[in-house]
Amino acid sequence: MEALVDGFALWGPDDRLILCNGRFRELYGSGGDMIVPGVRFEELLRGMAKQAVYAPEGEALLSFVLDRLMGHRRADGAVEEALADGRWLRVRERRAADGHLTALVSEFTEYKRREQDLIAANESASAANQAKDDFLANVSHEFRTPLNAILGFTDLMLGDFPSRIENPKHREYLGDVQSAGSHLLQLINDILDAAKIGSEQFALREDDVDVSTTVEDVIRMVAESARSAGVRLERAIQPALPEIRADRLRLRQILLNLLSNAIKFTPAGGIVTVSVGTSERGLDIVVKDSGIGMDAAEIAKALEPFGQSRPPLHDIFGGTGLGLPLARSLAELHGGTLAIESAPGRGTSVAVSLPASRIRPG
């Protein structure tokens, strides 16, 4: 018994200590003097609590004593004890059929400290992520408010007062301001949406959505961008598509992000195809391009928020790297999935599937 690494104690059916080894007394430090044959467990526990052997204080100590007594009576598992000197003990108790109880006590202070350090690190990381999301949400809002005013004035000047702007160069400059402002607003909206999704403050506004109309609207929105890039847009939309229950704005955002990405990474003379149809899975939307493509590592990187498939491409194509991560998050909020198939030099195919439960009957 004295050769055991752990502390060992044997309690009788009357809950009095019959015997224990030296390690058992040693583990309880200053409380070891009270550990003598014949002492009742409850008497020993309350005595050590009174001598501040245990770490809890006040009401927490009373709660610990009561819980420890109940655990001792059940004797059906392991109990953790925090000592006032900073050490942690694990007590394993088992009661035999004749009423005798055996206790094995081991110290696991280092393990407990590592566990606490890990918990603290996770909490710190979670707090940092929350602070980041809050900052992004706040700063995006602060940027968006004045930017909307700038865009409003440029729209007004270009729409209502073109005859008053006689210099063609001035009109061109206003057009540049409008274009740059619209692009910046889209980037800010992406950042704001990513922050909301990350902080779980994002809610869908669901309605019955005409998929065909939505797809055609988005294609019209990117048509000029595709024409300027020398990219041909094609569509393969299943006739008489049913309506789906979805957030109309977010469905448009998914399509817009996928099409914008496809056009951006497709060289002049290439093709971007939008295919929409139903299957056993539900509603399938596929955006396929004949662009530069990605390998497996680049796909994983592209799906990370603020990630770019290849760092040098940012200098060429720009963007925040939020298009694909946002599209995937929005698809998942609808209960769907986003999958990518690609290879360098062979283009990319992005498939979004929304569950069949979202398809409206009839």
Q: Which residues pair with 351 in a beta bridge?
A: 286, 339
Q: Is the pLDDT of residue 285 over 80?
A: yes
Q: What is the pTM of this model?
A: 0.55
Structure tokens at 270: 């290439």
Is 1 a member of any domain?
no
Residues 48 and 160 in one domain: no
Q: Taking the CB of residue 348, how many other CB atoms lie within 10 A of it?
A: 27
Query: Which CATH number belongs to the domain containing residue 321 in this structure?
Result: 3.30.565.10
Q: Is the pLDDT of residue 252 over 80?
A: yes
* Domain hosting residue 301, numbered range: 206-358
Query: Which residue type occupies 137?
Result: A
Residues 79 and 127 in one domain: no
Q: Is the pLDDT of residue 262 over 90?
A: yes
Is 46 a member of any domain?
yes
Give the mean pLDDT of 141-155: 78
Give residue 64's Cα distance to chain centre.
Answer: 36
Residues 147 and 97 in one domain: no
Structure tokens at 196: 């909301």
Give the mean pLDDT of 274-293: 94
Give the per-residue pLDDT at 318: 47
Structure tokens at 72: 């001792």
Residues 328 and 187 in one domain: no
Give the mean pLDDT of 235-249: 92
Give the mean pLDDT of 94-121: 91
Residues 228 and 327 in one domain: yes
Q: How many domains does the chain contain in total?
A: 3
Rounded to whole angstroms, how far apart are CA atoms 334 and 245?
9
The full length of the chain comes to 362
Give the per-residue pLDDT at 255: 92
Residues with Cβ within 8 Å of 346's Cβ and at least 6 positions away in sequence, in order, are 293
Query: Among 85, 107, 129, where does a domain finish?
Result: 107
Query: Among 198, 226, 253, where does a domain finish?
Result: 198
Query: Which CATH number belongs to the domain containing residue 183 in this structure?
Result: 1.10.287
From residue 20, give the alpha-carbon distance in Å to each of 23, 80, 101.
8, 19, 12
Q: Is the pLDDT of residue 65 over 60?
A: yes
Q: Is the pLDDT of residue 233 over 90?
A: yes
Confidence of residue 316 (pLDDT cuts 50, 70, 90): very low
At 196-232, the pLDDT tens digits run 776 666 788 899 999 999 999 899 888 888 998 999 9
Which H helix or E strand runs over 242? none
Give the per-residue pLDDT at 170: 78
Residues 210 and 264 in one domain: yes
At 9-33, the pLDDT tens digits run 999 999 999 999 999 999 999 888 8
CA-closest candidate to residue 328, choices 295, 348, 300: 300
Residues 187 and 276 in one domain: no
Residues 232 and 340 in one domain: yes
CA-closest candidate to residue 65, choices 90, 35, 43: 43
Residues 333 and 217 in one domain: yes
Query: Which CATH number belongs to the domain containing residue 100 in this structure?
Result: 3.30.450.20
Query: Among 144, 166, 198, where does a domain finish?
Result: 198
Asked if 359 contacts 283 with a C-beta cutoff of 8 angstroms, the reply is yes
DSSP 66: H
Mean pLDDT for all residues in the chain: 86
Give the mean pLDDT of 111-121: 88
Is 2 a member of any domain?
no
Give the per-residue pLDDT at 312: 46
pLDDT > 90: percent of the chain = 54
Residues 95 and 137 in one domain: no
